[in-house]
A and B are shown apart, each in its own frame.
Chain A
Amino acid sequence: MTTLLPAEFADLEPFAAKWCLPTEHERYHTRLASTMDEMQALYDAAKPRVTDAMVYLEKLPFDALPEDAVNLLHLLYSTIEVSFPVEVWRQPRVPDTGSASFDCFIEPVP
Chain B
Amino acid sequence: MPRFPKPPEGSWTQHYPELGTAPVSYEDSTSPEYYQREKKAVFKRAWLHVGRVEQLPRVGSYFTKDIRAANASIVVVRDRAGQVRAFHNVCRHRGNKLAWTEDPKLDSQGICRQFTCKYHGWRYDLDGALKFIQQEGEFFDVDKSRYGLAPVHCDVWAGFVFVNFAPEPEQSLREFLGPMVTALEGYPFDKLTARFGYSTTIQSNWKLYMDAFAEFYHAPILHAKQSPEKYSAAAAQAGFEAPHYQLDGPHRLVSTSGVRFWEMDADLLKPMEIITRSGLFGPWEKAELGEMPPGLNPAGCDPWGLDSFQLFPNFVILIWSQGWYITYQYWPTAYNTHVFEGSAYFPPATNIRERVAQEMAAVTFKEFALQDSNTLEATQMMLENDYVNEFHLNDQEILCRHLHKVVRDWVADFEGARR
- Which residues does chain B contribute within 8 Å of A51, judged by CB atoms? 275
Interface residues of A in 50-87 (CB under 8 A from B): 50-51, 54, 57-58, 62, 73, 76-77, 79-81, 83-84, 87
Interface of chain A: mostly helix, strand, loop or mixed: helix
Is the CB of A110 closer than 8 A to any CB of chain B? yes
0/1 per residue, A86-106, Cβ < 8 Å to B? 011100001111111111111
Whose C-beta in chain B lies nearest to the C-beta of A95? B225
Q: Does the CB pair A100–B352 fall under 8 Å?
A: no
A: number of interface residues (CB 8 Å) = 36
Quick one: which of B199, B355, B377 contacts A62, CB cutoff 8 A? B355
Known interface pairs A47-B272, A88-B227, A108-B358; A103-B200 also in contact (CB < 8 Å):
yes
- Which residues does chain B contribute within 8 Å of A97, judged by CB atoms? 370-371, 373-374
Interface residue stretch chosen among B16-24, B161-169, B189-197: B189-197
Interface residue stretch chosen among B301-309, B310-318, B343-351, B411-419: B343-351
Q: Min CB distance, A4 to chain B, in Å?
A: 18
Known interface pairs A54-B352, A57-B352, A102-B200; A83-B272 also in contact (CB < 8 Å):
yes
Is the CB of A8 closer than 8 A to any CB of chain B? no
Q: Classify chain B's interface size.
A: 35 or more
Interface residues of B in 321-357 (CB under 8 A from A): 342-343, 346, 348-353, 355-356
Whose C-beta in chain A lies nearest to the C-beta of B228? A88
- Bound: A28/B365 CA distance, A: 13
Quick one: which of B195, B270, B358, B375 contacts A106, CB cutoff 8 A? B195
- Bound: A47/B274 CA distance, A: 11
- Which residues does chain B contribute within 8 Å of A99, judged by CB atoms? 203, 374, 377
Known interface pairs A62-B352, A83-B272, A106-B195; A96-B227 also in contact (CB < 8 Å):
no
Known interface pairs A103-B198, A108-B358; A62-B275 also in contact (CB < 8 Å):
no
Is the CB of B294 closer than 8 A to any CB of chain A? no
Q: Min CB distance, A87 to chain B, in Å?
A: 5
Is the CB of A107 closer than 8 A to any CB of chain B? yes
Q: Does the CB pair A87–B272 fall under 8 Å?
A: yes
Q: Min CB distance, A41 to chain B, in Å?
A: 16
Whose C-beta in chain B lies nearest to the C-beta of A83? B272
- Which residues does chain A contribute within 8 Å of B349, judged by CB atoms? 62, 108
Q: Does the CB pair B198–A105 fall under 8 Å?
A: yes
Whose C-beta in chain B lies nearest to the C-beta of A73? B352
0/1 per residue, B350-388, Cβ < 8 Å to A? 111101101110111011011101110100000000000
Q: List 11 A-B contacts (CB under 8 A).
A: A24-B362, A54-B352, A54-B356, A81-B363, A84-B364, A84-B367, A94-B226, A96-B371, A100-B377, A104-B196, A108-B348
* Residues of chain B whose beta carbon lies under 8 Å from any beta carbon of chain A: 194-200, 203, 225-228, 270-272, 275-276, 342-343, 346, 348-353, 355-356, 358-360, 362-364, 366-367, 369-371, 373-375, 377
